[in-house]
Copies of this chain bind each other. A is one copy, B any other.
């Protein structure tokens, strides 16, 4: 059961190149535009599918100019006036803040929930119920985050340290937030896990549009004012946008607001993954195959219409080509075949894909990145 409170809007910032998923994901073709899990829906489509029951058409996508056309094709239900197109990337605070300012003008008391376009979430019914709890808390002027229950001592995410339970009606999973902490080293991550006080920061924020902008105005008044001006007069986009401060919403608002006691967390115990790299993708594909009762000769999973002939191999093969791909005797391999770039590595080295992208950029080969 999902309610659709008229004051709740969803914002989907669709950005980020997904560098560690290169060459599948590129600046020109970022991961949210791909159906990485073979579900028949791209990540941004799945994200919209997941949120629509909560907000119907009160849904705004913020993306870059070069992706606006692809986004519009993939999620045609998002009307042109609700597809905000950034002239240039100005990080997450500008993207979400712009949407907040647009919503604030339509409904000064509205609550917005911001959810990345390229995350994978399981148990969607429960997820929506937890978002609804977060909305209830946000109506009390909190900046609310959904904190993911850690399943292992991850070093790739920031963490949220929980405080006491909050007594908000309709939000039994809500607690105060003591602080946000940066990505830890392995020992620290293990300690976080052992205490039971820490949640992964998945960058999901639920907050009144006006509260978000007022908080921003406390610490970054110029940015808050500029975003409100642009929302009031879209013609200012061309002259003001490129000069906006580049800052992430975590640093701009969430961290100082936590220190000021203004942040709450709703514990989110649903499966979540940001598909940060090919190791993560291979794990998700294995889980999906097992859930589907798929019987395979080996554990080599595929992305895309890959024509794979394999012997004794495991890992993932992603293909954007018509070619037959043959893999023999490779454990936990990662093969990504695209028209202009081929990657061969292992799940264990998935984090190092970024090095290749950095190298190509340094050589000026940005057509490949």
Using a CB–CB cutoff of 8 Å, the interface residues on chain A facing chain B are 23, 309, 311-312, 321-330, 333, 335, 337-346, 348-349, 352-353, 355-356, 359-360, 365, 368
Bound-complex Cα distance A333 to B327 (A): 11
Name 23 interchain pairs, CB-CB below 8 A, sorted by A. A309-B356, A309-B360, A311-B352, A323-B338, A323-B339, A323-B342, A324-B341, A324-B360, A325-B341, A325-B344, A326-B353, A326-B356, A327-B345, A328-B343, A328-B344, A328-B349, A328-B353, A330-B344, A330-B345, A335-B342, A337-B342, A342-B342, A344-B344
- The oligomer's copy count stands at 2
Which B residues lie within 8 Å of A353 (CB)? 326, 328
Which B residues lie within 8 Å of A330 (CB)? 344-346
Bound-complex Cα distance A335 to B327 (A): 9
Bound-complex Cα distance A70 to B359 (A): 39
Nearest chain-B residue to A349 (Cβ)? Answer: B329
Which B residues lie within 8 Å of A339 (CB)? 323
CB–CB A309/B359 < 8 A: yes
Which B residues lie within 8 Å of A341 (CB)? 323-326
- A360 CB, min distance to chain B CBs, angstroms: 7
Chain B CB within 10 Å — which of A309, A338, A348, A360 has the most?
A309
Bound-complex Cα distance A349 to B333 (A): 14
- A25 CB, min distance to chain B CBs, angstroms: 14
- Interface of A, secondary structure class, is mixed
CB–CB A352/B324 < 8 A: no
Bound-complex Cα distance A272 to B328 (A): 28
Which B residues lie within 8 Å of A312 (CB)? 349
Bound-complex Cα distance A241 to B206 (A): 81
Nearest chain-B residue to A365 (Cβ)? Answer: B324
Task: A325-B344, A327-B344 are known; give 8 further A-B pairs, CB within 8 A.
Answer: A309-B359, A311-B352, A311-B356, A323-B340, A324-B360, A328-B343, A329-B352, A330-B346
Bound-complex Cα distance A337 to B337 (A): 10
Nearest chain-B residue to A335 (Cβ)? Answer: B344
CB–CB A342/B326 < 8 A: yes
CB–CB A340/B324 < 8 A: yes
The answer to whether A329 and B345 touch (CB under 8 A), given A360-B324, A368-B324, is yes
- A334 CB, min distance to chain B CBs, angstroms: 9
- A315 CB, min distance to chain B CBs, angstroms: 10
Bound-complex Cα distance A367 to B344 (A): 25
CB–CB B356/A342 < 8 A: no
Bound-complex Cα distance A322 to B338 (A): 12
Which B residues lie within 8 Å of A345 (CB)? 326-330
Which B residues lie within 8 Å of A348 (CB)? 329
Nearest chain-B residue to A340 (Cβ)? Answer: B323
